[in-house]
Amino acid sequence: MEPRISIITLGVDDLDRAVRFYEDMGLERNERITEGVAFFQMGGIILALWPRDELAEDAGIRERTRGFSGVALAYNTRSEAEVGLMIERAEKAGGSVVKPAKRAFFGGMQGYFEDTEGNLWEVAHNPDFPIDEEGRITLPE
């Protein structure tokens, strides 16, 4: 297996609401494939939004009740100031602030928000995780 993640699919309760949220966050929806799903290019990864019940059916599992899934997506910023700005933008787009931006244990800044469907996102600036011009993050050597 090659070391990569190609697509992150989020199961959503309301596809239109979720699409509006991510568009308000600045992502552009792919216009070619739109029937019952939404795709957003995010650097070298695709973010997909798909109705939760259809995703569960496709995977062959029973849908679970909502609660903390044990998964958090992360968006790392290029500066500390961007952390607070992204948390504010998420709230204005209809998300919920879980943890406001503040100094993190690792020396940078960090905060959390939930999107309109309850998916947890960390927004962080970690000076030890550089981001190149194309937006790729790397672990320190």
Is pLDDT of 43 > 70?
yes
Of the ranges 22-31, 69-78, 105-114, the best mean pLDDT one: 22-31
Predicted pLDDT of residue 51: 92
Residues facing residue 121 across a β-bridge: 73, 113
Predicted pLDDT of residue 74: 92
- Is residue 63 very low, low, confident or very high in pLDDT (cuts 50, 70, 90)? low
Type of residue found at 100? P
- Cα-Cα end-to-end distance for the chain: 22
Predicted pLDDT of residue 66: 65
Is pLDDT of 140 > 80?
no
Compute the chain's Rg from CA coordinates: 16
Is pLDDT of 75 > 90?
yes
| Three-state secondary structure call for residue 20 | helix
List all residues 6 or more positions away from 76 whose beta carbon is below 8 Å from its beta carbon.
123, 124, 125, 126, 129, 131, 137
| 16 vs 72 pLDDT, higher one | 16
Type of residue found at 3? P
pTM equals 0.81
SS (H, E, C) 86-131: HHHHHHHCCCEEEEEEEECCCCCEEEEEECCCCCEEEEEECCCCCE
Give 85-119 pLDDT, tens digit per residue. Answer: 999 999 999 999 999 999 998 899 999 999 999 89
Q: Give the pair of three-digit tokens for residue 16.
A: 């239109």
Q: Closest Cα partner for 126 from 112, 139, 113?
A: 139
Q: Closest Cα partner for 75 from 64, 84, 86?
A: 86
